[in-house]
Structure 1
Amino acid sequence: MNATQTTATVPAAARPAAAAPDEGSARALTGKRRIAFASFVDENYLPGFLVLLRSLALSNPDVCEDFIVLHDDLRPSSVARIRALHPRVTFRRVDADHYDSYKKGDQDNYLVRKAYFILDVFRIRDYDTVITLDTDMVVLGPITELLAMREGLAAVPQFFYGDKTRMLNSGLLVIQKEYLTDQFCAKLDEIGRSGSYELDKHDQGILNALLDGDFVDLDPKYNFVKRRLSGDLPVPDDTAILHFTGRHKPWQGGEAGYEQAQERWREFDVDDAELHASYLSRPGTLHQDLLVHFGTPHVERTGDVDIARRVALAHIGSGDYQAAVDIMERVHIPVDEAWPHEVYGHALMSVSRYEEARVQLLLATSAPNRAATAFSRLAQIAWVHGDDTTARTYAMAGLGVDPTHRASRIWQQRTIDGVPAQQKGGPEDQLAHVAFYMDRQGNAGDKLLPESVRLAFDPDTTSRRWHSVHAHRLFDEAALERVNARRGLVIGGGGLFIPDTMPNGNSAWQWNVRDELLERIDVPIAVYAVGFNAFDGQSYRADRFRTSLRKLVERAAFFGLRNHGSIEKVRAMLPAHLHDKVRFQPCPTTVTRQLVEGWQDPARRDDTILINAAYDRAGLRFGHDYAYFLAQMAKAVKDLGDLGEVQCVAHSLDDEKIAFDLRREHGISLPVIPMYDFENDEIRDLYARTRLVIGMRGHAGMIPFGCGTPIISLISHPKMAYFLRDIERPEWGVSVHDRDLAAVLVERSRDLLADHDRTVADVHGRQQELWKVTEANAAELRTILGG
């Protein structure tokens, strides 16, 4: 049977509603599922559990979820051995006395007493899915199907020859959040204390008495019990999890008649060094957390340069650039090993050790397969330092090696486009403006942002009134002199508080400025509509950001963040006396109708529904749910077609992926609008003329909203929920992880479109509230900045 097949619905008494997460948590905002494995472990079963952990890593090298170890007492040395095998393990002590009130078949047998302790898994409240594994199991094959399950309580039916009763084997359970409740635990307690279950089946007996056969069937391969192999039969090739049920355990010598099964267990009874080497040699994708966890001690033990490179890349991927530098500094890189030099150079430039990075990258250019990337990074370093000529030379060298190399093409183009032309007006007439000035074919939302910020200060957005300072270029003495010659400095907008778009070690956020130069800015500073853009699961790894942030808040005459969620995050990083300086300033794109001179709402709208999906940091957005999301969007697109013509609007090139995937996986074709090629007026015009925008990017919601168009946000990032919370319309959002995504999306679209004029009027009313805040702040800013 398929893992998603279900039996009759579990009775409501046995399946109470799940507890809601805290409103302010990332989980509540994005709906992203948190998944954990769980086992009860004691000293007697520790050898089995260690093998289980090794087998999980080696058989599923791309899987690394939290692992909850339930225990009643483990020695510190045992805890250390467990931690060495898993980077995301947590320990929770079982309330052993709680289960002494249960009626049992052999009350004085300590093994019987502990058999009930796994029921503590139902007291876990901070996960959406928990997968229990008995410690006498060994994982032999992929189990990713279990991670994708979203409903019910799933298990393999128990297996006994000649037994036709429908009961589950509790060795492996896939438990969804509606079972992780106080009500369900109370039912377990009631049955346990009454003894109204098969006493000799312990925890399994209680669960079967409560569920009465109503559980989701899993394929037997996920809990393949040893008794199926009686007579020393070989383990079937498709077995995912082998379960050594019965009294005789492999670490105790095993049992006659099961030698082939026990040999499979012994494959994973290895020491740490063997585990590390075996894991690191696995083909395919390795999970970054496990790669770091096993690769770091392996590098320390062996000095393996290639593994150091791979660990460094994993650190870079998670935004821990200093850790990437640290691991590369531990090994000797031969001169002719280009790839490690390139990765080391990448790590060094990410912490602003530019001269050292340049040396490493020049060494990397010697190998044809790494030269284009190395040259593009050298071009980036030169561009960061304001040397467009050298940057162009390196970019052209990269294109000479590989004419299709995208990064080299970007840097070559950026040295042509540069920052908008300067000096049409005198310095005394200008405000300096630190922003991310997007490249041609870059993200459409980021392209529109600098102009939108400027409109909030002055209808003239040209260089007559503005001096452009690219946030990603090193803010040096010359830049400081130019800024101090202006009448003020505006920083924003956009999600500049993010660690990884263009990392640097000077500030650890997007403006590449050292503290000492920030302190020497002697004109008024206004931080305007900046967002805290860290994803759910992403964090700043060092104190550098906190220190830089504090100095910026102290120095700023105005410090406005674009949503209250960002305000909460930033205040949490500041001392209490600075909290009141952090205030609300909506993103100016959300009040576009008020800012654009001569704005006219469209006399008629196209009968279209625009869909946008984002794919940067896809793992953080979708987790294990991308296939589910795509299938739900396929259903939604079909039904939305009854409400209007559905089109894909791509803010960046990568956003076209949803159209490709829907066609390939579900046979659905969508027209694609390449908004990344649009000018700002074209962006605004398109969004003003459509009837509804369903967007996953922040500015696929904020820009159309600012143009007066109804929106629904596909929430995969907290900032989407922050904005909807600020405008008091959380119902205009739906999580990409929602169990009923397609149905909810279509229902809400239908509601918004049913009386479109009323919905548009509601958008205008919500926008007016943001405009009041913007106007009040503008009056204060005129006093601060003049003009």
Structure 2
Amino acid sequence: MTTTSPTGTAAPLAPATDAHALTGKRRIAFASYVDENYLPGFLVLLRSLALSNPGVCEDFVVLYDDLRPGSIAKIRDLHPRIVLRRVNAEHYDSYKKGDQDNYLVRKAYFILDVFRLREYDTIITLDTDMVVLGDLSELLELREGLAAVSQFFYGQHKLNSGLLVIQREYLSDAFCAKLDATGRSGDYELDKHDQGILNAVLDGDFIRLDARYNFVKRRLSGDLPVPEDTAILHFTGRHKPWQGGEAGYSQAEDRWREFELDDADFHAEYLSKSGGLHHDLLVHFGTPHVKRTGDVEAARKVAAAHISTGDYQDAVDILSGVKIPLDAAWPHEVLGHALMSVSRYDEAKAQLLLATAAPNRAATAYARLAQMAWVHGDNTAALKYATAGLSVDITHRSSRLWAQRASGLPAQEQGAAEEQLAHVAFYMDRQGNAGDKLLPETVRLAFDPDTTSRRWHSVHAHRLFDEAALERVNSRRGLVIGGGGLFIPDTMPNGNSAWQWNVPDELLNRIDVPIAVFAVGFNAFDGQSYRAGRFRESLRLLVEKSSFFGLRNHGSIEKVRAMIPAHLHDRVRFQPCPTTVMRQLVDGWQDPLTRDDTILINAAYDRAGLRFGHDYDYFLAQMAQAVRDLGELAEVKCVAHSLDDEKIAFDLRREHGISMPVIPMYDFDNDEIRELYARTKLVIGMRGHAGMIPFGVGTPIISLISHPKMAYFLRDIERPEWGVSVHDRHLAARLVERAKDLLADHAKTVADVHGRQQELWKVTEANAADLRAILGG
């Protein structure tokens, strides 16, 4: 079977696209040149960076020429994301140089190799005689130009090259050619080496940073204390702290020695930091610390870090390796969470019951017990546990959610089993994500105008698929799996499949009715991955068992094909999300005669670190400007698919004084969702279904891209220009420009949306013919 293109013709898939290229998320790195003489300084630099900025972990590029294996091992011990790059030392032999007896006359130039890196958008270089004392977030947020601190002795025109913040436009062959030409001509201050070349090339054209980001020790002559706001202290000059130092700078050198720690003390100090520890650093330093000490609290922190990135078995392993006291409620609760996430439910229950003994952990533990009971289909026990959680903390949101789920009335089966299709989906709660609420019904519309239980048997993806569920499914005429981005590891984790349907292989293998996987999405974020082989095995079996396997965008097809054997690739086909063809599916659909003079904006905040990286403040400022400018075109409102989506309105008001009406779409029923999106003129959305649903009802869209799936959809409809990355340097201007273009001739834009939709409908109709043959009806 060949993959069908949006035009309905067979077409080969484009090669898989790197996620960051789709989202525009900036790739940031630190970099230093390191040799054996400066290794002691670099090890202190790495420790100081981690302890002063415990929430920061980017790639650290180590440029080197003579490091020994043992030295490299020491470096790797201090940072989990070391990238080694051997410099091209001979390249700099052609440069004209000054004093040939100076140790630095050759090696000082090697840091210029940083400009030959092409993998990053922003690189921050640090000299190895620096120590980091303060917050570097301002440097991480810089997005343009080449930034540095001006030289202490030479005024504002020249930079000190000990710290550089370099943006992509300087990481180019053209800029490297300028450096080479100047170096070979000798037309620079020869005794300043790399710094002399950079100053000659830039001629003062750099962004000036505050001196606290490269505070040279010469400012402290006379043994002055280091100012409190110093972010980076730079031990310029011949005498380095690890070589004995220099008279008159004892207070500065004391600050350097604060970070001259052995591994045990360093790990312990990092783990003692409160809040905001970066996952990679916490795991890298915490794992050997726990192994060495058996520290239960450290094990809890490391396990929680593993859970946050979906590494549930790793969380189980580290907490299972320490002896947890009976009254240590928090570690028991975290271990219970990890165990339930790998479907070791009985062990999880025991751990969570122990955690309920402590008032500060009881509500969370009871909520997890309620969740487990609900997963097993025991609503009575789920309600009991959720109620217990609320009795401890009446405001506990998770306990309230599980109480509502457990007390909901079960659906009444109305049709004959042999006339029904079973339907595995994520059935969203009241006040849940509006897009997920609409999806199951829309999937059903693609098969049958009757979406009720007369024709459908609901199977909640998150409930354990057991023998009774298998019997019910096998009594139906077929099984449809569809309703969202089910291929994601962490919304409701389980160890049976490692994706959202909690189905063991043995039971999946015993389904004997036709299976149709319909418009499922691969929903991993940029920076998120499936690390377990369990998912691959479950996925392979599902593809083998399915009579129809349709994914909702070609990006998902690429990702899934990369995870299954080649002989199964042709089974995977394109089936657009049915929300994108809503006008074709809803019986009696009428396009609106008039539209409200509104522009609706949606922003998403789940997994905010993966969406925004270091750029949230920038994004918010750009959106503030965009809302002001868009307000001249139409009334701008916030449309919240979930409660958390209201954050953009709160943040814009608090940080920028902008008020925006909020529409609580999470409270809407499906007809209200469709009607609102059909009536507006334009939707600017960050959630996948804040683009696909309005598109499906014929409304123009602009996608705020923070997830690859947004770009996948726009690529499929051949309108990539309808998307703007949340990291775009000119986000506000681009949003407003594109909004003006789409609104200038609104009727023409709507007609274009209809035309794009028609191509997706052709694919859906072609697939429907195959599905009728497979499922009947």
Task: Pick closer, same or farther for the CA change 1:712–1:23 going to 2, 3 Å.
Answer: farther
Residue identity in the other structure for 1:249: K
Corresponding position: 1:328 with 2:319: yes
User: In structure 1, how many angstroms separate the alpha carbons of the residues matched to 2:309 and 2:558?
Assistant: 23
What do the CA deviations read for 1:111-159 (whole angstroms, capped 9, x no partner)?
A: 3211100000001111110000000000011111000000000000111
Percent identity between matched residues is: 82
Residue identity in the other structure for 1:53: L
Residue identity in the other structure for 1:402: D
Q: Is the 8 A contact 2:626 2:732 kept in 1?
A: yes
* Matched ranges for 1:115-514 at <5 A: 115-160=108-153, 163-164=154-155, 166-417=157-408, 421-514=411-504
Residue 103 of structure 1 and its aligned partner are, at CA, apart by 1.0
SS in 2 for 1:116: helix
SS in 2 for 1:738: coil
Q: Is the 8 A contact 2:683 2:699 kept in 1?
A: yes
What do the CA deviations read for 1:206-230 (whole angstroms, capped 9, x no partner)?
A: 1111000000000010001111111
Task: Pick closer, same or farther for the CA change 1:418–1:449 going to 2, 3 Å.
Answer: farther
Residue 108 of structure 1 and its aligned partner are, at CA, apart by 6.3
Corresponding position: 1:39 with 2:29: no
Match of 1:77 in 2: 70
User: In structure 2, how many angstroms separate the alpha carbons of the residues matched to 1:533 and 1:95?
Assistant: 41
> Comparing 229-238 with 716-725, which one deviates more in the overlay?
229-238
What do the CA deviations read for 1:145-177 (whole angstroms, capped 9, x no partner)?
A: 0000000000001111xx346111000000000
Aligned pair partner of 1:67 in 52, 60, 85: 60
User: In structure 1, how many angstroms separate the alpha carbons of the residues matched to 2:357 and 2:581?
Assistant: 52
User: In structure 1, how many angstroms separate the alpha carbons of the residues matched to 2:218 and 2:498?
Assistant: 57
Match of 2:671 in 1: 681
Residue identity in the other structure for 2:217: K
User: In structure 2, how many angstroms separate the alpha carbons of the residues matched to 1:249 and 1:112?
Assistant: 18
Q: Is the 8 A contact 1:437 1:447 kept in 2?
A: yes
Match of 1:5 in 2: none
Q: Is the 8 A contact 2:16 2:558 kept in 1?
A: no
SS in 2 for 1:610: strand
SS in 2 for 1:662: helix
Aligned pair partner of 1:29 in 22, 30, 37: 22
Corresponding position: 1:537 with 2:496: no
Residue identity in the other structure for 2:335: Y
Match of 1:619 in 2: 609
User: In structure 2, how many angstroms separate the alpha carbons of the residues matched to 1:266 and 1:635?
Assistant: 46
What do the CA deviations read for 1:210-263 (whole angstroms, capped 9, x no partner)?
A: 000000000010001111111111111111101111111110111111111111
SS in 2 for 1:138: strand
Q: Is the 8 A contact 1:443 1:651 kept in 2?
A: yes
User: In structure 2, how many angstroms separate the alpha carbons of the residues matched to 1:418 and 1:286?
Assistant: 43
SS in 2 for 1:522: coil
TM-score under structure 2 length normalisation: 0.97
User: In structure 2, how many angstroms separate the alpha carbons of the residues matched to 1:242 and 1:710?
Assistant: 52
What do the CA deviations read for 1:439-480 (whole angstroms, capped 9, x no partner)?
A: 110000000000000000000000000000000000011111
Residue 80 of structure 1 and its aligned partner are, at CA, apart by 1.0
Aligned pair partner of 1:759 in 749, 763, 772: 749
Residue identity in the other structure for 1:768: Q
Aligned pair partner of 1:745 in 726, 730, 735: 735
User: In structure 1, how many angstroms separate the alpha carbons of the residues matched to 2:671 and 2:507?
Assistant: 36
Q: Is the 8 A contact 1:422 1:468 kept in 2?
A: no
Match of 1:6 in 2: none
User: In structure 1, how many angstroms separate the alpha carbons of the residues matched to 2:222 and 2:322?
Assistant: 51
Residue identity in the other structure for 2:87: V
Match of 1:101 in 2: 94
Residue 418 of structure 1 and its aligned partner are, at CA, apart by 5.7
Match of 2:576 in 1: 586
Residue identity in the other structure for 2:35: D
Match of 2:722 in 1: 732
User: In structure 2, how many angstroms separate the alpha carbons of the residues matched to 1:597 and 1:551?
Assistant: 36
Aligned pair partner of 1:634 in 624, 633, 655: 624
Residue identity in the other structure for 2:198: L
SS in 1 for 2:198: helix
Task: Pick closer, same or farther for the CA change 1:605–1:525 going to 2, 3 Å.
Answer: same
Corresponding position: 1:553 with 2:543: yes
Residue 306 of structure 1 and its aligned partner are, at CA, apart by 1.0
Residue identity in the other structure for 2:558: E
Q: Is the 8 A contact 1:23 1:29 kept in 2?
A: no
User: In structure 1, how many angstroms separate the alpha carbons of the residues matched to 2:166 and 2:571?
Assistant: 45
Aligned pair partner of 1:569 in 546, 559, 572: 559
Q: Is the 8 A contact 1:312 1:343 kept in 2?
A: yes
Match of 1:649 in 2: 639
Residue 592 of structure 1 and its aligned partner are, at CA, apart by 0.1
Residue identity in the other structure for 2:352: L
Match of 1:48 in 2: 41
Residue 283 of structure 1 and its aligned partner are, at CA, apart by 3.0
Q: Is the 8 A contact 2:16 2:555 kept in 1?
A: no
User: In structure 2, how many angstroms separate the alpha carbons of the residues matched to 1:548 and 1:73?
Assistant: 47
Q: Is the 8 A contact 1:422 1:467 kept in 2?
A: no
SS in 2 for 1:438: coil
Structure 1: which 4+ aligned runs deviate by more than 3 Å?
Answer: 106-110
SS in 1 for 2:166: strand
Residue identity in the other structure for 1:362: L
Aligned pair partner of 2:106 in 105, 113, 117: 113
Residue 75 of structure 1 and its aligned partner are, at CA, apart by 1.2
Residue 298 of structure 1 and its aligned partner are, at CA, apart by 1.2
User: In structure 2, how many angstroms separate the alpha carbons of the residues matched to 1:285 and 1:418?
Assistant: 41
Residue 60 of structure 1 and its aligned partner are, at CA, apart by 1.0
> Comparing 698-707 with 260-269, which one deviates more in the overlay?
260-269
> Comparing 285-294 with 742-751, which one deviates more in the overlay?
285-294
Q: Matched residue pairs, number?
A: 763
Residue 761 of structure 1 and its aligned partner are, at CA, apart by 0.2
User: In structure 1, how many angstroms separate the alpha carbons of the residues matched to 2:413 and 2:632?
Assistant: 53
User: In structure 2, how many angstroms separate the alpha carbons of the residues matched to 1:404 and 1:493?
Assistant: 31
Q: Is the 8 A contact 2:16 2:559 kept in 1?
A: no
User: In structure 1, how many angstroms separate the alpha carbons of the residues matched to 2:505 and 2:391?
Assistant: 39
Q: Is the 8 A contact 2:131 2:256 kept in 1?
A: yes
User: In structure 2, how many angstroms separate the alpha carbons of the residues matched to 1:332 and 1:50?
Assistant: 33
Q: Is the 8 A contact 1:506 1:513 kept in 2?
A: yes
What are the ranges of 5 or more consecutive residues in structure 2 without an aligned counterpart?
A: 1-14
Match of 1:17 in 2: none
> Comparing 445-454 with 329-338, which one deviates more in the overlay?
329-338
